[in-house]
Amino acid sequence: MSSPASNGAQLAVLYEHPLWFQPLFAALERRGMPYLPIHLADHSFDPASREAPAPLILSRVAQSSFLREPEHPIFYAEALLDHWERCGARVINGADVLAIDSSKARQLSLMTSLGYAVPETRVVHRVEDLLAAAEGMAFPLLVKANIGGSGAGIVRYMSAEELRVAATDRMIPQSVDQVLLLQEYIPARSGTILRLETLGGNFLYAIEVESKGDTFDLCPADACAVERGPAAIRMTAVTPPRELIEAAERIARAAGLDLGGIEVVIDDRDGTSRFYDINAMSNFVADPMNVLGWDPHDRLIDFLEGQLKGRVAA
């Protein structure tokens, strides 16, 4: 059974990035909602313990954590969240969601099982199998790391020869789980992709994000914008067609996603909506008051308060 945090808080927030969650923490403090921040970098747990740090735990594990720390916490966090769930805690975006979030291959399989179009893709676990997998596919092609984040581990190859040379010279992107995706490059209509944010399986808002084709870091958050510096990307609030909203909600619910974004690109060749990413680590859009006219953190805290109702600590 779970027990209250040592500071009396009923909510714990598990996080890794040093900057991304400052807006969340500030919003919790404005609301007067006590919380226990738990930083992953120096964390350890006892699998024989039957206590969780709080009845409600919000997981904010970033897939891009491997870029910041060689000893990244992605797989550790999956074991930790599973342990806390077995102790009786309610984990927002728990171990099963993290497993989907950390596998682009599983995401594509899930979305196609629901009947949605995705970019043509082949999945391999050895670099030397990429050329054989590319047979019958049209270039340009992308090689993607199965575990990415912030556009990491994605390279575009214009020809089979270019791919062959990169594979021979071992210059292919690497994934920390050794799984690679070979995927057709989708020309984005109007040079944008669409990110639909969901909360509790329901549509929250959508933004159109500029996709220049020469960069794959489309993270919309404040900290990402700071890290990019002058190479900012354009983001615009939009109201998607009803069928895309319904698709995003259906995908989120099938993935068990409590909070996160579904990304889709409109194929400029034929107008097909191709879904390609489930992102459980939503940072929300930068400058939300100007982009959206409201702060999504307020809705998130409403959701957290709702989750706490009826939960009694041991």
Residues 174 and 244 placed together within one structural domain of the fold? no
Question: Is residue 313 included in any domain, yes or no?
Answer: no
Specify the DSSP class assigned to residue 188: B
Question: Is residue 314 included in any domain, yes or no?
Answer: no
Residues 252 and 133 placed together within one structural domain of the fold? no
Q: Which of 153, 184, 215 is the last residue of a domain?
A: 184
Residue 222 confidence (pLDDT) above 50:
no
Choose among 277, 299, 298, 294: nearest CA to 218: 277
pLDDT at 220: 52
Range of the domain at 155: 121-184
Which of 30-34, 124-128, 149-153, 276-280 is predicted with the least confidence, judged by mean pLDDT?
Answer: 149-153
> Residue 132: exposed, middle, or buried by beta-carbon count in 10 A (0-12, 13-18, 19+)?
exposed
CA atoms within 13 Å, Cβ hemisphere of 183: 22
How far is residue 165 from each of residues 128, 132, 138, 144, 212, measured CA to CA in Å? 11, 14, 18, 17, 25
Residues 62 and 204 placed together within one structural domain of the fold? no
Specify the CATH number for the domain of residue 200: 3.30.470.20
Q: What is the mean pLDDT of the chain?
A: 89
Question: Is residue 131 included in any domain, yes or no?
Answer: yes
pLDDT at 218: 46
Question: Is residue 5 included in any domain, yes or no?
Answer: no
Specify the CATH number for the domain of residue 89: 3.40.50.20
Choose among 151, 141, 146, 147: nearest CA to 216: 151
Residue 292 confidence (pLDDT) above 90:
yes
Question: Is residue 111 included in any domain, yes or no?
Answer: yes
Residue 268 confidence (pLDDT) above 90:
yes
Residue pair 60/15 in contact by the 8 Å Cβ criterion: yes
Question: Is residue 4 included in any domain, yes or no?
Answer: no
Residue 282 confidence (pLDDT) above 80:
no
4 falls in which pLDDT band (50, 70, 90)?
low
Q: Which of 137, 168, 184 is the last residue of a domain?
A: 184
Residues 148 and 20 placed together within one structural domain of the fold? no
Residues 77 and 127 placed together within one structural domain of the fold? no
Residues 170 and 229 placed together within one structural domain of the fold? no
Residues 47 and 15 placed together within one structural domain of the fold? yes
Domains identified in the chain, total number: 3
Q: Identify the residue with better confidence: 237 or 221.
A: 237
pLDDT at 233: 74
pLDDT at 6: 54
Q: Which residue has the tokens 């893709």?
A: 121
pLDDT at 17: 85
Q: How far apart are CA 217 and CA 233, in angstroms?
A: 9
Residues 248 and 304 placed together within one structural domain of the fold? no
Tell me the range of 217-231, 262-276, 282-296 where mean pLDDT is highest.
262-276
pLDDT at 234: 85
Residue pair 62/149 in contact by the 8 Å Cβ criterion: yes
Question: Is residue 272 included in any domain, yes or no?
Answer: yes
| Residue 80, H or E segment | helix 74-86
Residues 23 and 165 placed together within one structural domain of the fold? no
pLDDT tens digits, 36-66? 999 999 999 999 999 999 999 999 998 887 7
Residues 161 and 196 placed together within one structural domain of the fold? no
Residues 113 and 131 placed together within one structural domain of the fold? no
237 falls in which pLDDT band (50, 70, 90)?
very high
Q: Identify the residue with better confidence: 219 or 155.
A: 155
Specify the CATH number for the domain of residue 180: 3.30.1490.20
Residues 151 and 281 placed together within one structural domain of the fold? no
Q: Which of 136, 159, 184 is the last residue of a domain?
A: 184
Question: Is residue 268 included in any domain, yes or no?
Answer: yes
